[in-house]
Structures are given as structure tokens and as C-alpha cells.
Chain A
Amino acid sequence: MSVIEISGLHKAFGPLQVLRGIDLSVERGDVVCVIGPSGSGKSTLLRCVNLLEQPDSGTILVGGTELTDPDVDIDLARRKLGMVFQGFNLFSHLSVLDNLTIAQRKVLRRSGSEAVETARRNLAKVGLAGKESAVPSQLSGGQQQRAAIARALSMNPEVMLFDEPTSALDPELVGDVLGVMRQLADEGMTMIVVTHEMQFAREVADRVLFMDGGVVVEQGPAEQVIGDPQEERTRTFLARVLNPLK
């Protein structure tokens, strides 16, 4: 059974139709990259998956739970989904360690020692061992984003959602974050990644979705969608992204 099953998803902001009927199913262990021009609705799609945006119509099944059902405890469903934001969104008043433990203790009701142990393990995994007591403003953007990934991982999610995780980073810091994400993919984590990093999509993704104007224009294996796109809109977009000077 699919981990995530989306069908007929519509979302409008006022008169602006951002999503016009999205269907997507993600199997366990899948790495799906969503690409497309800004304003195409790819971030909104991702934010609908954990109900940071309330969809207007359509269904979103996460692990068999219908998220749009008003009787479903959304906080419970969100535990299955780890989210990584473009702007990191580490809690700026807490140390790195507290950032990683607060939700473990307050949401999962883990003991302090268990939460700290999980946090340390995940910090080591993203290459931030020793940064436990730093506050977010003392870290570089790349370190903050890796700490944010470790924070999401500490909740033991079934699926990780990445919303343009490297778009706010200085170019030389992008590699560290992508490296951590590739490692996660290699370990079999189910991931949906909204990204402009075509090389990452090509090398890591099992499947690539090209979105434009609120619909999925084209999807398939990475080498097909990025290497040999069938649709004209996909070709135009990729030509601009891969050769911006032409």
C-alpha cells in the first residue's frame, strides 16, 4: 500500500487557483522530486500533505489515514511526517539540543534521557556532533538546515518532506545539505523533495514530477523527465534552468 495517496487535490488562494487536481501516490522507500517554475504550486502541494495549507477539495491519505477528515487528530497524523523548510525555522530561543528534544518530549512523551539520546544520534548523523549547546544564530545556514533535518528525524517520521531545502543557502553550503539528504535516501527513507537542484533530482530521485500551473505536466523516472522530457513546457523549463545564460 502507498504511504501517501493524493487524489483530486485542489487549492485556491482567493481567486488564484494554485492546485488544480493533483494525483500522486508515493510508495514506501520512494524518493520523489517535484520540480517546476515558481508559482507552479509545488510548495503548496507539499504543505497540503501535512495540512499546513488546508486543501479545498480532494483526498490526502497518509499511512491509510484520511487527513482531510475533520475527525482525524491532525497532530497525531503529522507525527508520521517530518518537514524541512526553506527558511530552516529552528526555534531561535532554544539551543540546538533543545530544538531536537522539545517535540520528542512534548509530543511523543519521551523521557528526557531518551530524547537527548535520539537527538545526539541524529546530530551525529547530519555531521553536527558537538553543536548541542549552540543557539541557531551561531550556526551557518547549512548547519541550521542540517540541524532542522535532524530535528525532523528525531520524531522517527515515516516520510520526510523537503520544501526547497537548499534555496536559502549560500552555494558552497548546498553540498553538505544535499549530502545528508542523499544519505537518507540511501537508507531507504521515503522522501518528497521540492527542489531546484536538477543534479540531485537526477541522481537521487526514483521519480520526478514536473509541475506547472497547478497541474502535474509530466512525471516518470528522473532520467526520462530531466534527460528526455516529452512535454514542451518541461523542455522549456529545463532549458532555462540548466542553461540560464542562453
Chain B
Amino acid sequence: MAGSTDSAPPRSEPIAAVPVRHPGRWVAAAVLLVLAAMVVHSLLTNPAWQWSVVGDYLFSGRVLGGLLVTAELTVLAMLIGVVGGVLIAVMRLSNNPIVSGVAWFYAWFFRGTPVLVQIIFWSFIGFLYPYLSLGIPFGPEFIFFDSNKLIPLFMGAVLGLGLNEAAYMSEIVRAGILSVDTGQTEAAEALGMTRTKIMTRIVLPQAMRVIIPPTGNETISMLKTTSLVAVVAGGDLFTEVQLIYGGNYKQIPLLVVASLWYLLFTSVLSVGQYYIERRYSRGTSVQAGGNVR
């Protein structure tokens, strides 16, 4: 520059742009590829996997029947969980100390005991209370039920899973309700809307955006948790594969069969969750209230 006689600033040669090199990435990728190749190799060559047995049972009637029960258990348990969770959450937020206390106790109890214990407990409720009746405590009874008829094994499993789920869902719903700005409730109150209408028409629809994503996670988790009902011979996918390998001692291939189905179902649920989340985040973009200082 010092020797330049031009009035225009001296133009240096354009630099050949070279991307920053990441040798570490190449090494890591190579190591992982080799490891993956080893896994695939062992899956294909280790005869103990017995892939032909996997193929034999993957679409067998018993496995598909168990799959149906697993799907039913998941749907029913989540139904109880979501409806019960909303109820418990609304009770928990009540100003009545008895009502909110009961809701607190419910969540405390069902979150504090293992779901496996609850499944067994509800399945054998008939031993504890052979007859259930509705009536006044220490007074007359109006309706009688035979517990074993009212709560068969399958319903016991559903209750165990669903009541437990309701406790967790109540916390999710409560967080969703609390995420809605109190101004929304005030505006609805000022318009003369009743508490019930405010909750169902104003607060809960807005809470959905916060409630939906963790509910998707809970559903995926529930699908796998249903496998616990195998301990009471609940007839689900896992019960069936256990019964099958109990007879033919081909544990590994049958566990593979169950895992493949669980993976497929959770994948389908994940895709569904993506679309539901996208739908419920509409109209709540970041520019909402952008003019509020």
C-alpha cells in the first residue's frame, strides 16, 4: 500500500474461499458407520436372532389379536386419563378448599404408587370388595354390583392405567390452564359469562396449545406402558408373545416381533402428534399482542 501511486484504494486479489475443514466430523462419522455395520452384520449372521421365526409370528393371529387389545387399552386408558385429568385439574384450581384438597390427594396418591401395583390392585379389586353398592355411608344402600362382573380383568387393567394417567394428565392440564392470561378470564367475567362457560369456551381452548404436545408424549408412553398388563394376563401384545414363547422357548424372536409392532405404532403416533400440534398452534403466532407494551 505504501508504494501505491494510485488514488483509488488498491484492490487485493480475491481470496479463494475454502470452507472450514472439520476432520473430527469425518472421524466420528466413520467410527459410527463401522459400528452400525457391525450391528447389521451381527443381526444378519447371528442365527440366534431366528429371523424366520420373527417372520412366522409377525402377522400371526395371536399377535394381531394382542395388538388389537394393546390399541384398545391405550385408547381407553388415555380417554380416562384425559377426561379425568381435566376434571382433577379444574378441581385443583377450585377456590373450595375441600374440592381442591381432594384433587391434590388424588394426584398425590396415584403419582405416588407404581402403576404396576395399581394394575394388579384394580384387577383383583373383587377380592377386596366382592360387592360394590351405592348408598349412604352407614345407611341404606340403593344399587348393588358384583365387583367381578363390574370390573373384569380387562377393565381392571384399563382402570389401573387410566386412573394413574389422570393424575399425570391433571398436572399437564393445570399447567395449560395457568398458561392462559388472566385477562381472558376477566374479559369473559365482565361479559357476564358463567365460570363453567368461561372454562369450556375461553380458557380450555386456549390451554390446548400447551396441553397437546405433552399429551402426545403421554399417549406414546401409554402405548408401551400397556405391556405391564401382561402381569395380570391382560391379553395385550406383550401377554401374547409371552404366552407364545412360554410354549416354544423362542424368546428373542418373539420379543423382536413385539418391539417391531411397538415401534411401528409409536412412529404412527409421532406423525399424528406433529400434525395435531401444527393445527393447534395456528392463530397464536409470536406477533400476538405485539402492540402491547
**B-binding residues in A (CB < 8 A):** 50, 52, 75-76, 78-79, 81-83, 85, 87-93, 102-103, 106-107, 135-137, 140-142, 144, 148, 151-152, 155, 168-170, 173
A50: chain B residues within 8 A (beta carbon): 190
Interface size of B as a range: 20 to 34
- The answer to whether A83 touches B187 (Cβ under 8 A) is yes
> Chain A interface: which of B32-40, B108-116, B285-293?
B285-293
Give Cα A62–Cα B197 distance, bound, in whole angstroms. 24
Q: CB < 8 Å: which of B192, B193, B284 contacts A92?
A: B284
Give Cα A93–Cα B187 distance, bound, in whole angstroms. 14
A75: chain B residues within 8 A (beta carbon): 192-194
A152: chain B residues within 8 A (beta carbon): 190-191
**A-binding residues in B (CB < 8 A):** 181, 183-184, 186-194, 197, 201-202, 205-206, 283-285, 287-293
With A88-B292, A92-B284: A103-B193 Cβ-Cβ less than 8 Å: yes
- The answer to whether B192 touches A76 (Cβ under 8 A) is yes
B267 to chain A, nearest CB (A): 30
With A93-B206, A102-B201: A87-B283 Cβ-Cβ less than 8 Å: no
- The answer to whether A92 touches B206 (Cβ under 8 A) is yes
- The answer to whether B293 touches A52 (Cβ under 8 A) is no
Give Cα A132–Cα B285 distance, bound, in whole angstroms. 19
A85: chain B residues within 8 A (beta carbon): 183, 186-187
Give Cα A151–Cα B191 distance, bound, in whole angstroms. 9
- The answer to whether A103 touches B191 (Cβ under 8 A) is yes
Closest chain A residue, CB of each to CB of B182: A89
Could you list 30 A-B pairs, sorted by A, with CB under 8 Å? A50-B190, A75-B192, A78-B192, A79-B192, A81-B190, A83-B187, A85-B186, A85-B187, A87-B183, A87-B292, A89-B184, A89-B187, A90-B187, A91-B188, A91-B202, A91-B206, A92-B288, A93-B283, A103-B192, A106-B193, A107-B192, A107-B197, A137-B287, A137-B289, A137-B290, A148-B187, A155-B191, A168-B291, A170-B291, A173-B291
B292: chain A residues within 8 A (beta carbon): 87-88, 141, 168
- The answer to whether B288 touches A137 (Cβ under 8 A) is yes
A22 to chain B, nearest CB (A): 20
Give Cα A91–Cα B203 distance, bound, in whole angstroms. 9
Give Cα A136–Cα B284 distance, bound, in whole angstroms. 9
Of the candidates A93, A103, A140, the one having the most CB atoms from chain B within 10 angstroms of its own CB is: A93
Give Cα A141–Cα B183 distance, bound, in whole angstroms. 15
Of the candidates A87, A135, A136, the one having the most CB atoms from chain B within 10 angstroms of its own CB is: A87
- The answer to whether B191 touches A78 (Cβ under 8 A) is yes
B291 to chain A, nearest CB (A): 3
- The answer to whether B293 touches A168 (Cβ under 8 A) is yes
Give Cα A38–Cα B190 distance, bound, in whole angstroms. 23
Q: CB < 8 Å: which of A81, A106, A144 contacts B197?
A: A106
